[in-house]
Amino acid sequence: MALDAARTRLIRLLPKVELHLHIEGTLEPEMMFSLAAKHGIALPYASVEAVRAAYAFHDLQSFLDLYYAGCDVLRDRSDFYALAMAYFARAHADGVVHAELFFDPQSHTARGIELGVVIGGLRDAMGDAERRYGITSGLILCFLRHLSEEDALATLAAALPFRSELVGVGLDSGERGNPPSKFTRVFAEARAAGLHLVAHAGEEGPAAYITEALDLLHAERIDHGVRCDEDPALVDRLVRENIALTVCPLSNLKLCVVKDLRDHNLARLLRRGVAITLHSDDPAYFGGYIGENYRAAAEALDLTAAELIQLAANAARASFLPLPGTVSKLSSLGTTDPQ
């Protein structure tokens, strides 16, 4: 059944905090074509429609192969600026008031693009987004877990001159066979530099990876984390320690982490007391930005108005930048459990 008008309106009006968004995953096919034309790059697709038709994924890796290939059109500072500015325009339309953006420096530096070009273009857009839309934002540098620990350590060393431009570090890419334990040293170094810490875990990997991310990496939030309920003691711990899981329903559906959104465990976990938050992951590839993720989850799982407010409040509390402007914009959400 379609979502009723009251919850549709509530979702539209809720001030939203985006905590799980890969900026490279906001590259819409139209921009992929325009940047390819700008740089004289031949794409293996005849049209925008052909690109969209290729977005039929059967697991995380089948998506990552296209996602990394798409990054090739991002070459200069103005490309990263245009990418992020297009995202902020959509985020503003969706009621986003604060966003902590992931970016994958290794997928750019490996192609000869300097880190300063990537960070510079993104930071230019972040400044303009705050001036134009009032959206505050932060940058989280993600290490690609399919690459070596040495590569991650070198990436962190290269990023430290840009320390003041970053709010934290994260861990993404192919999860299976790449446990958090592989990155214990690099996360210890990031922690020593005062950076916040997050990690993708329990998306395709086992619940044990979530435990590792908490115990070995000292992750403050877990990205996805949906396989946590394979370990009931871990779920108890997430509740006790108020650890947020940044869940992305449309991503989980597109990457076949769940067969049907009606089977998603996010509502059960939320009702169990886990700090679930809703986000968009790679919206250009998965068919919806944050508002669409709220709508799809609300409809499939029959989330109540109070639960939708709880999801938005959880994200505000789990954010790393409690800026005065953000806090006042979010004050209507209150700090008590709306149940």
Structure tokens at 203: 């998306």
**Shortest reach from residue 227's CB to ligand ADE, in Å:** 13
In the range 53-72, which residues lie near ligand ADE by CB under 6 A? 60, 67
Q: Which does 178 bind (CB under 5 to 8 A by kind): Zn ion, ligand ADE, none?
A: none
Residue 120 CB partners (closer than 8 Å, separation 6+): 77, 80
Active site residues: 203
CA angle 334, 337, 339 (to 5 degrees): 120
Residue closer to ligand ADE (CB basis): 18 or 203? 203
Angstrom CA distances, 3 to 90, 283, 293, 321, stand at 21, 21, 13, 32
Decide: is 282 part of the binding site for ligand ADE (CB under 6 A): yes
Q: For residue 185, what is the enclosing H or E element?
A: helix 184-192
Q: How far is the CB of 243 from Zn ion (least distance, A)?
A: 17
**CA nearest to 192, candidates 200, 184, 182, 202:** 184
CA distances from 117 to 56, 247, 256 (A): 32, 30, 35
Q: Which does 203 bind (CB under 5 to 8 A by kind): Zn ion, ligand ADE, none?
A: ligand ADE
CB of 175 to ligand ADE, least distance (A): 6
- Pick between residue 66 and residue 321 the one whose CB is nearest to ligand ADE: 66
Determine which residue in the list 15, 25, 249, 288 makes contact with ligand ADE, applying CB under 6 A.
25
Q: How many residues bind Zn ion (CB under 5 A)?
A: 1
Q: Which residue is nearest to ligand ADE (CB)?
A: 172
Q: Are 174 and 143 in contact (CB under 8 A)?
A: no
Contact partner at residue 173 from ligand ADE, Zn ion, none, CB < 5 to 8 Å by partner kind: ligand ADE
Nearest CA among 88, 22, 57, 56 for reference residue 281? 22
Composition of the chain by helix, strand, coil, percent to 5:
55, 15, 30
- Residues of this chain, 275-334, that bind Zn ion according to CB under 5 A: 281
Site membership for Zn ion, residue 100 (CB under 5 A): no
Q: Which is nearer to ligand ADE, 159 or 171 (CB)?
A: 171
CB burial of residue 318 (10 Å; 0-12, 13-18, 19+)? buried
Comparing CB distances to ligand ADE, the nearer of 120 and 283 is 283
Residue 281 binds ligand ADE (CB under 6 A): yes
Cα–Cα dist 15/219, whole Å: 25
Please say which residue, 204 or 281, places its beta carbon nearer to Zn ion.
Answer: 281
Give the residue, chosen from 100, 203, 212, 307, that forms a contact with ligand ADE under the rule CB under 6 A: 203
Residue 198 Cβ, how far from Zn ion at the closest point, in Å? 10
Comparing C-alpha atoms, which of 71, 92, 75, 73 is closest to residue 23?
A: 71
Closer to ligand ADE at the Cβ: 246 or 310?
246
104 binds Zn ion (CB under 5 A): no
Burial class (CB in 10 A: 0-12, 13-18, 19+), 53: exposed
Region 130-189 residues binding ligand ADE, contact defined as CB under 6 A: 172-173
Residue 221 as a binder of ligand ADE (CB under 6 A): the answer is no
In the complex, minimum distance from the CB of residue 23 to Zn ion, in angstroms, rounded to a whole number: 11
Rounded CA gap, 156 and 166, in Å? 11
Positions that interact with Zn ion (CB under 5 A): 281
Positions that interact with ligand ADE (CB under 6 A): 22, 25, 60, 67, 172-173, 200, 203, 251, 281-282
